[in-house]
Each structure stands twice: as structure tokens, then as C-alpha cells.
Amino acid sequence: MSTIVIDHLARVEGHGGITVELEGDAVSNVRFDVFEGARLLEGLVRGRRYDEIAPIVSRICSICSPAHCLTSLKATENALGVQVSPQTDLLRELLLRGESIQSHALHLFFLAVPDYLDRPSAIAVAAEHPAAVMLGLRLKRLGNLIQETIGGRAIHPVNAVPGGFGRVPSADQLIAIRSALIEAIPDAEAMLDLIASLPDAGFCHTPTAYAALYSPDSDRYYAGDQLMIVSNGDRATVPAADYRSLTNEQPVAHSHAKHSTFNGNPFMVGSLARLTVNPSRITEGSATASGRLKLSIPSDNPMDNNKAQAVELVNDLGLALDMVERLIHDGVKDEGCVPVTPRAGTGVGITEAPRGLLVHSYTYDDQGCVVSADVITPTAMNAASLEQHLRKTVEQSAERDEATLKKKLQMIARAYDPCISCSVHLIRR
Amino acid sequence: MGKPTVGIFGLTGCAGDQLAILNCEDQLLDLVAFIDIRDFLMGSSGNDTGCALDVALVEGAVLTERDAEMLRAIRRRSGLLVALGTCAVWGGVAALDRDADRARLLEEIYGETGHGYDSMAARALHEVVKVDLRITGCPIEKDQFLAAIAGLLNGDLPVYPEYAVCTECKMRENNCLLIERGEVCCGPLTVAGCNARCPELRIACIGCRGPLGDGNPNSMLEMLEKKGIGRRQVEDKLRTFAPIGAGQ
């Protein structure tokens, strides 16, 4: 027996590794190891008041902190029977677009692209291609501008609270975002050119099931309460409240991330899953982008998640501009927050974080304090699917030398854009 | 003299302070012109994991034996060790109940599988190794990070505020959430440096930068008790980001 070990995965968020055990050329075992410490935040929020929960659980992960914050608020508001205004819904959607722009730009330019160019880091890429790295930095900065303006801070937003926002953005702030989004139109084109120019990475092919928030008539990261899984052309919807029938998590010894399966089969969440589940998201602009990147949906190649992120980045920029135009046109009202009256109840919130489906669920007592909490993150949902793709990568590789196999394994892991802090989530069974 | 060698590391946490560094989009390329980043796992797959470092920037808290070993190894190879962010400086949210029965929590969350996990109560870096500079914040503020790098490049340590978020809030002429609205605002007891980010948005401070050295919690507890807010609620809020007694 031989073993391939990547003991500390670089250019991802958090601490994880990969172990592949081989009997000759046959793969006997594959593990995506997570050694991020367990923070047990679920246990620690128990007894805390409804208005303290989102800021604590947003600390699960920095890159996805707006998604954690807003998913937490959505679950809490569902539990406490709070209905927020359409303006709040729109601002929350815009905040998640900002998050996605920042996150996808960070992942594509700083974490994923260096592999395709055989460089260890974006800093090394910058030595030869400074314009490419500066392009990534500009797109990233634009995502952060939206997050700072709407969320009050780029990382761990402070402005989003139960019932609405502390302070809504001013007209001047929205106009500044609009100008930045208009200036970014050529950057989006240049980004597509760059991604289209990368060498092909089609070394792992296998039919894959995909799951995402289902939004039949519109493109939403925030609103919606239906999940959909697409597998072998079959589509099944699951109401948010029944999320456990989708996730069906199992703890595993080698990882603090539980593994999710649907009917015993792994599924993938994230950009590629969103495009597969919601064909209505393929707008004219994103169809052109998909064509330029030669991305066809459904895909059997997990590396296509990188292309799907590029398509989404174009989509996010366009939709953010539409939303900002609408807010400027309608005017943003300083409407204050919807008052919250504590009551006992359970609420589930589902959204699309940059890395995929995110679920929070809380049960509150009649004082509005948490009795139990459950958080299921995209990276935890992806763990079983990632292991399956790591296995296929080794099985399908014609080159058997360890260096090549290691490089392919790392590229697959990075294509999932794992957020390992996130994966260490904290479920109460 | 060559560029100073720097390592950027994360223990258990959310990676928000490393992300805050990467969020210095306008300064990042200048930054790498002045410092030689040799070891940065989140940013590079080509790291020198053994070289001596002039400065180590470390975020996150110590939650596992693996974290503790990694931190000791970083300390051994580094001239200056900088604690980056509230988790590294104070323990952060993972330390919000250090007395909790972890074995029981692990079992509740992971079932029997949790028995073998490497897991202990969160500790700040200075509880494990010597720390030379502390940059607090959840996450760190970019300007304070850049000031630290500029200072270190010039052989100096940055000076950070030793007054309360309240002071910054008054400078911005905000209405007081604590006195006027009776909200549990941690501003009087939290160290400044965020320019009163939350109260400026009419949101009560939750103390994410950690406690002020010479704050007066009893005075705040008494004032809120008179407004009908129980001690327990205030204490819970005050220890969300830093366990009582840590950091001294």
C-alpha cells in the first residue's frame, strides 16, 4: 500500500489536508482531513438573546461572514415571526452580491489562478502579470465597497440586525457604488478574457449531483425557502424546514466537518450547483460569459466551478448595478427596524453563501433566548462530494507520479473553494 | 540590509485578520515591495516553513494541541511575534465560556465520534508564548495594521488608543445609546480604534475589540440595573469576545 498525503492544504481558508491510500493503482481510501479546532459555537450561543446571535455566528468565517450574519437573521426572524420590509430584503440581497464579488475575486485571482499558471501565489503571478493581479484587486475592492457601505464593515458586518438595518445607505453612498460598478464593466470583460485564456483543466469527469437554493423566476442569494437537488437529470425540491432530509449529516472521525449525503449519494453546492439548479439565472450576459468560457451545464467536471464563479461574478456585477439603480430611483427610506417581540419558536434560514447553500436553524424560548442551534455550511455539505472527486482524480490520472497527482488533488480541492473554518460547524443532534 | 522576513499564520479562528490584510487592496503590492513574505499558507503554496522570521503575524486562538505546537514553533523562529485580532489577543468568541464542559459539548455536537477530537478551552496567544505586540479588533482595522507594518519597518512599535470607544463616539457627536436609549452598549468598557463603527450606525457596541485596561464595569452594571437591565445580560455581553480576567 502507498499513501499520498497533502498535510496542509495551501491557498484555502482554514486548516485541512488530503490523504489518499492506494493499493497499486487502485484507490482504497480518500480523506479530506479537517484539523481546524472545534469552537463549539453552537453550544456557546445557547441561552444568549436573539439580538446577540448573528454577531457571534458570523465569526464562524470571515469570507462568508455576511452570509452567516444574514442567514442567522433570516432564521431568527422566521422563529420570532418578524417580517422585514421589501427595502431590507433588497439591501440584504445587495450585501450578499458584494460578498460574492469579493469572495469570487479573492478565490479566482489569489487562490485558484496561480495553479493554472504554475505559480505558488498571486504575488508570484504579479511579478510577470501585474495587470492581472491589479484587476483582481480592483474587483475585490468593489465587493468590499458594497459590503462596507451596506454592512458597515467588510468583514463581520455590524449594520444588519434583527428587523432591518441600523442605518440605511445615503444617496451619495449609493451613487458612489453605482459609479464603481459602471467603471468595473471593462474589468468584468478583462476577467473573462483571463479565465478563458487559462489552460484546460479537464482531468476529473464524473456525474455529479448538485444542490442549491431554488429561485424559479429570479436570481436570488437571499430570498427563498426551497432547496433543489439535481441528480442525473432528476429534480427534487425540499422545503427549507426539511433541510435535514437533504443534509442528513454524519460525524466522521478524521474531520470536524460532518458529511452530507442525499439518498446516500454525495452532492455539490456552490457556483456550479447554482447555475445547474436555476437555469433562469442564465441571463443574456451570463450566457455570453458561459460561451466564452466554454462552460456547459450540467457539467461533469468539478474544475468548472472556477468558470462558474467567473460567470457569477459577471452576473453579480450586473445585478448589483440593477439593485443600486433601483434604490437610487426609489429613494432609500430611513424606516427603522421592525420591532421584535420575543416568543418561543423554531425558525430555519437558508441562503446562498459564495461557496454554496448555507442553513441556520434556531429554537428560541419565550424570553427570546436560544435553546438549540444548528448550522450547516457549504463546505460541510461539499466534503463527501469532494472526497468522491479526489478519488476520481487519482483513478482517472494517466500520470502516476506523486507530484502530478498532488497538484491535481490540490487543484480539485481549491476548485471547491473550501472554507474550512466554516466546515467546522456545530450541530446539535 | 534586505527586506524584513515575515510570516503570516492562522490558528483556530475565522481567518478574518488574514483576510483584512488581503483587503488592503490599495497597499498590497506596495506592502510586498517592502517586506518579504516567506510563509503565508492562506496566500501561497510555495512557503519556507522553517526559515527564521523577523516578524510573525499570528491570528486565531489556541484551541488544540496542534495549535499550541504550531505557535511554539512560530515563536522559536521569529524575532517579533504579533498577535493579530481579538482571538489572538483575548481568546475571542471561542473563549466566551471557557468553563463549559467541553467533553459534554463535543459529545452533544459530534456524538461518540467527538471523543477522540483534539480540543481544549480557547486561549489567547500570550497564555502560551511571549507576545511582543497586540493588534486587537474583530477583525483588525486596516489602518492599525498598516501603521504597525510602517512602524516595524522603521524600528518602532505603533501606539494604539488607550481610551474607550465612547471617546470616539463622542467625537463623532452621536446620541448616546446607553444613556438615552438604555441599550447595553459596551462602548465605555471597550478599547477604541474602530472610530465608534457600531454606535455611528445606531448599533450598540458589542465589545469586539476587547476590554479597556482601566474600564469601570461596576459603574456600567449599576447604571443599567437602574434602567431595569439585569446583571446577567450585561455580563454575558461583556464577555462575548474576551473572557473575564484574560489579557492582563
Q: Searching chain A, which residue's CA lies closest to the CA of residue B138? A: A156
Which is it for the CA torsion A260, A261, A266, A267, positive or negative?
negative
Q: What is the C-alpha to C-alpha distance for residues A415 and B13, in angstroms, rounded to an integer? A: 22
- Residue B96 banded pLDDT, cuts 50, 70, 90: confident
Q: Which of residues 194-253 of A touch B (CB under 8 A)?
A: 251-253
Coil vs helix vs strand at B42: coil
Q: Which residues of A touch B42 (CB under 8 A)?
A: 10-13
φ, ψ of residue A54 in degrees (nearest 5): -55, -45
Q: What is the C-alpha to C-alpha distance for residues A67 and B27, in angstroms, rounded to an integer? A: 27
Q: Note the pLDDT of residue A423.
A: 65
φ, ψ of residue A341 in degrees (nearest 5): -110, 120
Decide: A104 and A271 in contact? Cβ < 8 Å: yes
Q: Note the pLDDT of residue B248.
A: 43
Q: Note the pLDDT of residue A427.
A: 37
Q: Is the pTM of this model over 0.90?
A: yes
CATH number attached to the domain at A2-423: 1.10.645.10
Q: Which of residues 74-133 of B touch A (CB under 8 A)?
A: 92-94, 96-97, 100, 102, 105-106, 108-111, 113-114, 116-119, 122
Residues sharing a CB contact under 8 Å with residue A400, sequence separation 6 or more, in sequence order: A25
Decide if pLDDT at B141 tops 80: yes
The highest-confidence range among A344-353, B102-111, B118-127, by mean pLDDT, is A344-353
Q: Does A336 touch chain B (CB under 8 A)?
A: no
Q: Which three cell numbers stand for residue A67?
A: 452570509
How far away is chain B from the Cα of A250, in angstroms, using its nearest Cα? 8
Which is it for the CA torsion A393, A395, A399, A401, positive or negative?
positive
Of A424, A423, A303, A351, nearest to A100 (Cα)? Answer: A351
* Residue position matching grid coordinates 432528476: A234
Q: What is the C-alpha to C-alpha distance for residues B6 and B55, in angstroms, rounded to an integer? A: 5
Q: What is the C-alpha to C-alpha distance for residues A294 and A290, in angstroms, rounded to an integer? A: 6
Q: Which residues pair with A234 in a beta bridge?
A: A231
Q: Which residues of B touch A14 (CB under 8 A)?
A: 10, 15
Q: Which residues of A touch B105 (CB under 8 A)?
A: 40, 43
- How many angstroms from the chain centroid is the CA of residue B171? 24
* Residue position matching grid coordinates 480576567: B245
Q: Does A173 touch chain B (CB under 8 A)?
A: no
Q: Which of residues 24-43 of B touch A (CB under 8 A)?
A: 25-26, 28-29, 32, 37, 40-43
Of B193, B140, B194, nearest to B21 (Cα)? Answer: B140
> What are the structural domain ranges in chain B?
5-153, 165-238
Q: What is the C-alpha to C-alpha distance for residues A305 and A112, in angstroms, rounded to an integer? A: 11
Q: Which residues pair with B180 in a beta bridge?
A: none
**CB–CB contact A114 B63 (8 Å):** no
Terminal-to-terminal C-alpha distance of chain A: 37
| Amino acid occupying residue B192 | A
Angle, helix A171-183 to helix A130-151, in steps of 10 degrees: 160
Q: Note the pLDDT of residue B173.
A: 96
Of A4, A61, A21, A105, nearest to A410 (Cα)? Answer: A4
Q: What is the C-alpha to C-alpha distance for residues A292 and B219, in angstroms, rounded to an integer? A: 64
Q: Which three cell numbers stand for residue A295?
A: 462552460
How far away is chain A from the Cα of B157, in angstroms, using its nearest Cα? 26
Q: Which three cell numbers stand for residue A348?
A: 430555519
**CB–CB contact B29 A133 (8 Å):** yes
* Strands, sheet with B78-84, edge to edge from the N-terminal-most edge strand: B36-40, B5-10, B53-59, B78-84, B133-135
The highest-confidence range among A270-284, B60-74, B109-123, by mean pLDDT, is B60-74
Decide: A270 and A355 in contact? Cβ < 8 Å: yes
Q: Note the pLDDT of residue A251.
A: 59
**CB–CB contact B109 A144 (8 Å):** no
Question: Would you give per-residue pLDDT tens digits along chain A (429 residues)?
Answer: 899 999 899 999 888 999 999 998 899 999 998 877 777 787 889 999 999 999 999 999 999 999 999 999 999 999 999 999 999 999 999 999 999 999 999 999 999 999 999 999 999 999 999 999 999 999 999 999 999 999 999 999 999 999 999 999 999 999 999 999 999 999 999 999 999 999 989 899 999 999 999 988 778 999 999 999 999 888 999 999 999 887 766 656 665 555 666 777 899 999 999 999 987 776 777 788 899 999 999 999 999 999 999 999 999 999 999 999 999 999 999 999 999 999 999 999 999 999 999 999 999 999 999 999 999 999 989 988 999 999 999 999 999 999 999 999 999 999 999 988 766 654 333
Mark B164-201 as b/e (b = at least 16 C-beta within 10 Å): bbbebbeeeebeebbeeeebbbbbbbbbbbbebbbbbb
Residue B221 CB coordination number (10 Å):
16
- How many angstroms from the chain centroid is the CA of residue B194? 13
Q: What is the C-alpha to C-alpha distance for residues A159 and B27, in angstroms, rounded to an integer? A: 26
Fold entry, domain B5-153: Rossmann fold (3.40.50)
Q: What is the C-alpha to C-alpha distance for residues A405 and A411, in angstroms, rounded to an integer? A: 10
